[in-house]
Amino acid sequence: MNDIIMNDVIILGSGPAGLTAALYAGRAGKKTLVLGGDRLGGQMAGIAKLENYPGFLGSGMDLAEFMKQQAESFGAEIKFVGAKSISGDAASGFNVLGDDGNRYVGRTVIIATGASPRRLEIDGARELMGKGVSYCATCDGFFYMGKDVIVMGGGNSALNDALYLADQAKSVKIVYRKGAFTRAEAVLRNRVAERENIECLFNTDLKKIAKRDDDKLVVTTTDDKEIIVDGLFVAIGHEANTDYLSEDVMRDNMGRLMPGEMPAGLFVAGDVHSGIKMQIATAVGTGCEAAMNAIAYLNSMQ
């Protein structure tokens, strides 16, 4: 076990919200610890090319590395440890049990653990995850060079994945259960329409997935049509990463946290925050707000 050190601010998550909060808290002279989970950057790290974050052109990982260095320059400490539970309160200190077995104590905690891709719950999807079924195009797209793939979903994430894969795969089919990409940005819809190796299958949903002896996937739609491909990439939304929190922490109908309902000393930022658009810019904004609220809270306790 580690020696117990009281931190002013513990930040859970190392995505854009958590790293922004770390920058502000560290710069305010608060002892700041980031428990960043298993990888730097959260979902942002999987973006191959950022186009809609003001003032920056590059990959999501590039931006995450820069944000990390900036936060560390103001004294924030970053550990790649996940949270298993939070107990205690502002009066005695919050106890965060890490997945490394250590206990971390803070006067305040900023929850910025983001969201994870929603899993596809049809026959074969769980069994074939990592064996033809993927939730990360930028992680696994390389393995499908010159092959045929499906992207399931109809939002910005799905269309971005399809465009990324179209540069590597022979063909990309986008399967979407609705009749049009109403949730995706027009610029992405236009780019998809311009790509000759992308085909859109609207009003289509999937029922099951199986693997043939030649490693091809047999993807069966709900109207019993079969599509033969090499890989399936799933982009059907996200779920808030809040499983480590007790059931008495208030959540909205999407499982996200409501800042106005949090106990004293607990703050919320990023994609786990109820009611915000899931964008890097909004994550940064809520990270700033949560840190400033935590700083004001700590100053009021002096």
Q: How far apart are CA 169 and CA 196, in angstroms?
A: 12
Does the domain at 133-234 match CATH 3.50.50.60? Answer given as: yes
Quote the mean pLDDT of the chain.
Answer: 94
CA 260 to chain centre: 23
Q: What is the DSSP letter of 40?
A: T
Q: What is the pLDDT of residues 23-38, one digit of tens each?
A: 999 999 999 999 999 8
Query: How far from chain centre, in Å, is Cα 90?
Result: 28
Catalytically annotated residues: 136, 139-140
> CA separation (Å) from 58 to 18, 141, 287?
20, 18, 21
Give pTM, 2 decimals.
0.82
pLDDT of residue 221: 96
Higher-pLDDT residue of 252 and 177 is: 177
**Who wins on pLDDT, 276 or 193?**
193
Which tops the pLDDT comparison, 49 or 58? Answer: 58
pLDDT-derived band of residue 272, with 50, 70 and 90 as boundaries? very high
What is the pLDDT at residue 3?
Answer: 63
Of 175 and 252, which is predicted with more confidence?
Answer: 175
pLDDT in tens, 92-135: 999 999 999 999 999 999 999 998 888 999 999 999 999 999 99
C-alpha to C-alpha distance for 82 and 61, rounded to whole angstroms: 19
CATH 3.50.50.60 residue window(s) in the chain: 6-116+238-300, 133-234
Fold of 6-116+238-300: FAD/NAD(P)-binding domain (3.50.50)
pLDDT of residue 51: 86
Instruction: Give the model's pLDDT for residue 117.
Output: 86
Per-residue pLDDT tens digits for 179-190: 999 989 999 999
Report d(CA 88, CA 107) in Å as an integer: 10
- Burial tier of 205 (Cβ tally within 10 Å: 0-12, 13-18, 19+): middle
Amino acid (one-letter) located at 273:
H
The reported pLDDT for the residue numbered 116 is: 86
User: Dihedral of CA 236/241/243/245: which sign?
Assistant: negative
- Comparing 267 with 250, the larger pLDDT belongs to 267
Task: Give the lowest-confidence range in 74-88, 242-256, 267-281, 286-300.
Answer: 242-256
Token couple for 78: 């970053």
Q: What values do phi and psi take at 139, rounded to 5?
A: -75, -45
Backbone angles phi, psi at 66, to 5 degrees: -65, -45
Amino acid at residue number 255: G
**CA-based radius of gyration for the chain:** 21
